Chain A
Amino acid sequence: MKRTIAIVEDEPSIRENYADALRRQGYRVTLHADRPAAADAFASRLPDLVIIDIGLGDEPEGGFALCRELRARSPQLPIIFLTALDSELDVVSGLRLGADDYLTKDISLTQLTARVVALFRRVDSMQQPDAAGTELTQGNLTLDLDRLTARWNGEHVALTVTEFWMVHALARRPGHVKNRDQLMEAASTVLDDSTITSHIKRIRRKFQALDPAFDAIQTVYGMGYRWLEQGNQAPP
């Protein structure tokens, strides 16, 4: 069965372009121009994945409202924000509402497609709870490469797909410095320097919420970031 992707986007050209690209990948795509139309459509049937723009027609934050409604109805539904808004505040608000990823419109269609594929893979692996996924263990960190989930000391860390890929890129080769370009490539996204910095900050904060002593991600100024193995502190 074809998976259904709903795109809620008020700009027709962009909407159509995304739809074309995703259809070429074999998905069924439904298009909605504003929040009420989308809400009506979702009331009868939920799609398998939703891509939402934040500013919808007359509602500057209609995307947030829609996300809230959807998340209330289905905790598992993958939701991606795709927006021109990229301020720190918007990103945090979007993720707090339970979106699985937050992408800016700088992203290319290829990158968007990769993200969609990854999210579907995660959904699939979630539905087979017994199957052991491919796991990467690095000290206290365990990464489930199928489900795109991370555990720290056995506790689940709620990372977005982008964040997961960044952690994965760092943790795969502990001690190796990853510069910003490498991280962007690994996360298959386009971000400027300060956005990467805030991503790293957010990742640290998520780990620190579980373990206040967490400091495995170290900044190497002028170069990038590296993963420190437990007990293998870098010289100050």
Chain B
Amino acid sequence: MSLRGQLLLVSLLTLLLPWGGCRAIREMESTLRHGQENNLRTATIAVATSLADNPQQIYRTSAHLNDSSWPAHDLYAYELNEAIAIDGYANDWGNAPLPAPWHSGRAGTGNPLRYLLGKRGDYLYLFLAMRSQTLGGAAELDQAEILLETPGGALLRLRFRSPAPGPVVARVETLSGEPADSDVIAQRIVAYWQETGSGFHLELRIPRDIAGARIGFLVAAAGSESKAGSMAAAQPASPGMWFSEMPALSAYLSRFALPGVRLRVADRHGWISGDSGPAAPTDQAAPTPPYSLALRIYRLLLPEQDLAPVAQASPGRVSGTTATAAMSGKTWISRQHDPDGNRLLLAGAPIRDGERVIGAVLAEQPSDAYLSLTDPAAARLLNLAVLITFGVAAALVLFASVLSWRIGRLRRATQSALDNRGRLQTRMPGSRAGDEIGDLARSFEQLLDRVDEYTRYLHGLGDKLAHELRTPLTVVRSSLDNLDLASLTPADRACLERARGGAERLNTLLSALREANRLEQSLSSSEFEEFDLGEMIDNMADGFRAGFPDRVFETETVAAPVVAAPDLVSQVIDKLVENAVEFSPAGGRIRLSLGEAEGQRGKSWKLAVANDGSRLGPGRKQRYFDSLVTHRTERGNTPHLGLGLYIVRLIAEFHGGSVAAGNSEALSGAEFSVTLPVSMAKR
């Protein structure tokens, strides 16, 4: 695995940072939620405590507190905030919710009916709408019957029937209790009958001083026996209680309500008796566009909570787990979402009167999915953490790449320190850096310097040796030359010839020893030109045939244009042939072949010289091309230093080519070959 890969792997550890950040966000999120819940719970309990032992604030009458009759007959009167015109239309009922769904009445069997009950100032308002297909004649009219309990406890029946739209007057009769003045009461109740295409409306206004704790109604369409209404049709009919919001309590609650929090008080029946009103918008705006990227990240990091939907309550009532729990005396907190998908935090606390639970305070607060986002400090911290994480990871990867590049550069420099001409490039890149890689580069430089020094010494050794030996050899030779031949006996002359022969051989040896070194010097001054290698081989073969008459030369060449130093290439051929001549028996065959080959640098020519002498033994074949290595077994007459093939290798490598040794396929002996690129820029 490469260093870059390893460092990349290590840099993956920085992913722990976002992971830790994620954990921190969750912690913070949870802390913030707890804080929010605690705040809301505390506020709720505080309100509940302030309302404790004071049922009058919640209940209009003690009858409402103690009522245990059938609550299905109970009605809820909205606190109306607009003046109502008694005209048989409900369009001015303002803040009251749309009329409840059509229902056939609690009595069960009548035509579909809907109603609205409202309270404003000193009046109680009732709106009834019935769907009726039959058009009433004079004998059979639509009729409505309203039962009303007066504050005095008397039960009144108001009957309305109208042959035509317009104001109607109730027929009032006292069913129980102290009889009232029917006419006065009838005059004080304002009612309006309105016919519509699909039925009729009845709107009426009752002064509060005759409207006690209970009210109920029954409506019957013309020609229909069945009635629809808020109470059972059976006689004697019993009206249910009507409940309403307590304006004083609502005002009280709105003083407590924090921004964004809606406080409501429900009585023990679940009717809302106080409401601080819809929550005012908070200062903390919803996530703005710059946060949207962060929001997406947090969605990935934080699990979405699955929330229960808010229980749907009928108008004027509360319901749901929070309300139920608070009613049963427990403080409760929960998170839910409303039909629009907004998240809500709900809290409930019981209101006690002594030991008895007389109601509940319910608090409702919109709660953002990601609290930390709405908290500016937390958001800044998070953004900073994310930024730093990515920054650190990027810096690590960059650092790893730089480190890897530096080491790679050093490695490449080390690899190419020895160039094709055997020269050492001892300067390493990055050796001025002060760190360990710089140390390494410097160590390499020192090592290479020493190797270079040693190599130079070795290179020069042969030359120096040859040079130093030359002078004494010259002394010997010139002394031999100086001998007066005339004064010598034949025996002396033979002796002199042997001494000359020995000196000659020494001289040849010394020349050969210097040849390789001199060749290295002359490589740089060689001149490249284009010529035909095949033609050169053919020409040279002619020369060889003349020079070595006791060998048979065979050639197999092609036209091979090449850009090279012709002197050097001819020297290669010379050396290869000399080598082959030495290793083939007299009369043996020597085969020069030239063919195309794929070299390292594209198209190349492969020149092979084979002989039919002995085959090469096992072992590393390249060693034959080393300096002072010979593969001969018997000693010949001519001195041999094993430098010929070394020169071949030097020249081949100088041209960017290569050398190879092996056994010939065509002939019985060895084959030495040189591969030269077709074209090589002079270096």
Instruction: Identify the A interface with B (CB < 8 A).
Output: 11, 13-14, 17-18, 20-21, 84-85, 87-88, 105-106, 108-110, 179, 192-194, 197-198, 219-224
Contacts and interface: CB of A to CB of B under 8 A. Distances in A.
A74 B510 CA distance: 37
A194 B539 contact: no
Contact of B571 (A20, A84, A87, A193): A193
Contacts of A20: 482
B539 A13 contact: no
Interface in B341-379: none
A105 B522 contact: no
A194 B475 contact: no
Nearest to A17: B478
Contacts of A222: 536, 539-544, 570, 573-574
Contacts of A108: 477, 481
A88 B519 CA distance: 10
A118 B95 CA distance: 139
Nearest to A19: B482
A21 B539 contact: no
B465 to A, nearest CB: 12
A13 B475 contact: yes
B471 interface: yes
Contact of B521 (A87, A221, A224): A87
Looking at A11, A108, A223, the one whose CB has the most chain B CB atoms below 10 A away is A223
A17 B471 contact: no
B544 A84 contact: no
A193 B572 CA distance: 13
Given A84-B474, A194-B518, A109 B482 contact: yes
Nearest to A220: B539
A11 B471 contact: yes
B467 A14 contact: no
Contacts of B518: 87-88, 194
A85 B468 CA distance: 11
Contacts of B467: 84-85
Contact of B567 (A14, A106, A110, A197): A197
Interface in B319-336: none
Contact of B478 (A109, A179, A197): A109
Contacts of A88: 518, 521-522, 525
A18 B573 CA distance: 39
Given A88-B522, A222-B544, A14 B536 contact: no
Nearest to A200: B567
20 contacts: A11-B471, A14-B474, A14-B475, A17-B478, A17-B481, A17-B482, A21-B478, A21-B482, A87-B518, A109-B478, A109-B481, A179-B543, A194-B518, A194-B571, A220-B543, A221-B540, A221-B569, A222-B536, A222-B543, A222-B573
Interface in B466-486: 467, 470-471, 474-475, 477-479, 481-482
Contacts of B541: 222
B270 interface: no
A227 B546 CA distance: 20
Given A197-B567, A222-B574, A223-B543, 20 more contacts: A11-B471, A11-B474, A13-B479, A17-B475, A17-B481, A18-B478, A20-B482, A87-B521, A88-B521, A106-B507, A109-B482, A110-B481, A194-B515, A194-B518, A220-B539, A220-B543, A222-B539, A222-B544, A223-B542, A224-B543
